[in-house]
Amino acid sequence: MNEGNPEIELERTPKKAVIPASGLLVFESHHAPGFSGQAKDTSSKFHLVIAGHSRWEGGGRRYFLGPDTLIHIPAGQAYSQADLPNDPVTVYGVHYRTELLSAALSSQLTALGMLSIDLGSANVNQARVVRSIFQEMLFEQGAGQEGWEMMLQSRLIDLAVRTLRLARRRGRNDLPAFEPGNDSTERVARYALRLKSRFFRQETIEEASKAVGLGRRQFTDLFRKVTGQSWRRYVLGLRLNHAAGLLAETERSVVAVAFESGFDDLSYFNHSFKTAYGCSPLAYREQRQVRLPVKSAASSKPVGDGEPSAGFKLRGIKGWFWTAEQYLEEIPFLPCLKMNFLMDCYGSMISSQSVLQPGKTGSNEWWKPMTEDRKEAYARIICACQDNDIKFCFALHPQLGSPRPLNPDRAEDVEQFYQHYAWAQSQGVQWFSICVDDTGWGVGGPAASGLGHARLVNTVLARLRDRDKTAQFTFCPVICWGDATNPEHRDYLEVLAREMHPEVYVFWNGDSIVTPRITRVAAESYRQVVKHRLFLWDNYPVNDGSPTLHLGPVSGRETDLHEVIDGYLSNPMHTQNQINRIPLATCADYASNPREYNPARSIGQAILRLAKTSEQQRVIKDLVETYPGFIVAGGGTGTNPVRAKFGNLVAVRDSRSSAQTFIHHLENILTRLATQFPKQFLSTRKTITEDISWMKKQIGSKK
């Protein structure tokens, strides 16, 4: 049964299990159509069929197995099995050494020979109870928490005893025990805490109430008081969270993930998951797991000769407080991605000490001439763009971080501001920009602010065109996001529509400043008010200088945005410009041909472009999956998915081992990254090192 994951390995014959040192192995097996074969193992085993039908034969007896059939095969028992045509089996199993059970229990099971029990007919509760045992064993083995081997052995004993009793028709459904306590609220709180590692149990609310010695009504009231949620919603949330982790970190089928997470109904699981996460389980996995392609290829369908452009006319990137060296390092990479546009970061262009960087001091002294060193550095950047057929856009911000914000009505201010544009034009620059984002209206309000901004843009553009009629201009307004339906936003944008030169492009961030989804509806609404051509300033994968990485593919941008927007500009990470090439490649892929863009395909090709050997590709793949980006992981530009995941791990009871394992995983990535790329990704390695140190400190504080 394989509809959950078309790429999962299917078994065609029984395989011999390799028992670990603990003496017990829990596993899942997905059979291919036509599965059949014979087996004889030195270990004993339990199998629980969860889907499909199969015929077994052993010890002179024949068995017909279907869903919820439990079968026990003693060590040394030879048997054969064959799945029904077109109805392959999905089965969970436990292989164990007989010495894990007491001699008496083991001998009694062995005496029964090969044993099959239809749990569905044995007792109304037995099927779900036995499924819970397998689910708990799978969870414990996968989590590797303290004492997990003992937990597996105890559940094995439970399973063996229950099987023996069922075989003798003495079915019984034991309710979970709970430690006594006088305070009802305390008992419910402890129960809620315990649920975090027992959510997969098939337990009714009546059983939960009885387990803490309360009536249903009192239990539900206290549970909501303790957790802020109903019992059903709380359990569902735990199950869905566990399922999300399995989908992101394992190759288990959707059927298996649902089963292990406590869901008996696959359709209910799919519906609940999509409601909670906004996508199907398979789509969720595709967003978080990188599949490396066999060979490099064009990520999107190329545009043929004579065909109209399939994407945005202008496709590029801006810096984020990048140094001149960072720009020069990335410019040669842009043509490889079919990008044709680069805008400087206005903050670092004229700030005396890059004031706008986190933790830095200084000021935006826009009125002062640029130093000769800065002119020389940016002259090299401009020349490099010209050599690579990249349009360089010279951008400044006259207000942000400045002790003396520019006054558009003051001629001296405008003249001092214009001197920088005149210098850039003298270097052959033809694209220019003024940005006033991240500022307010001023005392005059939206309309007055819009009028002042329009006049400033018009004045600078007119003077540039006096020298070069082909000069182009972009403007990033105060309101550079949304659909322009807010009355104040509309007042400001309508003035720009009337007063600003009609050939000026307007930067727009999307439905909001930082957003997982950008829609055509919002773009059309905004453009209808501002009445200028739009240039999408996509705030991905920018981290705003925060200690985090956003490496997953861009997604959530509608496929027809290029029909209403002329340009696409990706906003990058701060110091990590080298690893930024991974998400940037997906942004370029989208911008080149939005309709054919596939995030999963694009990220695989991006890795192959950057990493040449299989070892390099695997470590970059692991790095991307660990830092998938805020579009996938949630949060914003400063969200760190590694620290968020670690926080979730340590919040769960008895999860110290899982947290340590996660730290080791990150240390392994760091070591491999340094080995495979000894001279690259230094700032990326610094970020990972800081995350490892932070996690170790958190664990140390909890000792």
Query: What's the chain's length in residues?
Result: 703
Query: How far apart, in whole angstroms, are the C-alpha atoms of residue 643 and residue 691?
Result: 7
Is omega for the bond preceding 88 within 30 degrees of 0, making it cis?
A: no
Task: Mark whether 438 is an active-site residue.
Answer: yes
Query: How far apart, in whole angstroms, are the C-alpha atoms of residue 382 and residue 136?
Result: 62
Please report which residue ranges of 360-479 form alpha helices under DSSP H. Answer: 372-387, 411-426, 445-467
- Which DSSP string do the residues of 122-160 spell out, in sequence order? H-TTHHHHHHHHHHHHHHHHHH--TTHHHHHHHHHHHHH
Query: How far apart, in whole angstroms, are the C-alpha atoms of residue 4 and residue 461?
Result: 57
Parallel, antiparallel or unpaired: strands 36-39 and 79-83: antiparallel
Query: How far apart, in whole angstroms, are the C-alpha atoms of residue 563 and residue 131?
Result: 53
Q: Which residues are paired to 435 by β-bridges?
A: 476
Task: List Cα–Cα distances, 183 to 193, 205, 231, in angstroms.
Answer: 16, 20, 19
* Other Cβ atoms closer than 10 A to 702: 9
Which DSSP letter does residue 337 get?
G
Catalytic entry in 438, 491, 544, 622: 438
The angle at the Cα of 647, spanning 642 to 651, to the nearest 5 degrees, equals 150
What b-and-e string marks burial along 131-163, b requiring 16 or more CB atoms within 10 Å of the CB? bbbbbbbbbbbbbebeebbebbbebbebbbbbb
SS3 of 388-401? CCCEEEEEECCCCC
> CB-based burial of residue 635 (10 Å sphere; 0-12 exposed, 13-18 middle, 19+ buried)?
middle
Q: Residue with structure tokens 């999107």?
A: 300
Residues 6 or more apart whose CB falls under 8 angstroms from that of 701 comprise: none
Query: How far apart, in whole angstroms, are the C-alpha atoms of residue 337 and residue 592?
Result: 9
Q: Which of 556, 551, 554 is nearest to 511 (CA)?
A: 556
Query: How far apart, in whole angstroms, are the C-alpha atoms of residue 609 and residue 164?
Result: 58
Please report which residue ranges of 230-353 form alpha helices under DSSP H. Answer: 231-249, 254-260, 266-277, 281-288, 324-330, 346-350
Q: Which of 73, 63, 57, 155 is nearest to 112 (CA)?
A: 73
Query: How far apart, in whole angstroms, are the C-alpha atoms of residue 317 and residue 669?
Result: 28
Q: Residue with structure tokens 């705030």?
A: 539
Report helix, strand or coil for 611.
Answer: coil
- Which DSSP string do the residues of 643-663 spell out, in sequence order? HHHHHHHHHSTT-HHHHHHHH
CB 280 within 8 A of CB 274: yes
Torsion of CA 61, 62, 65, 71, to 10 degrees: 20
Phi, psi (deg, nearest 5) at residue 13: -140, 160
**Which contacts (CB < 8 Å, 24+ apart) does range 227-230 have?**
227/192
Residues designated as active site:
438
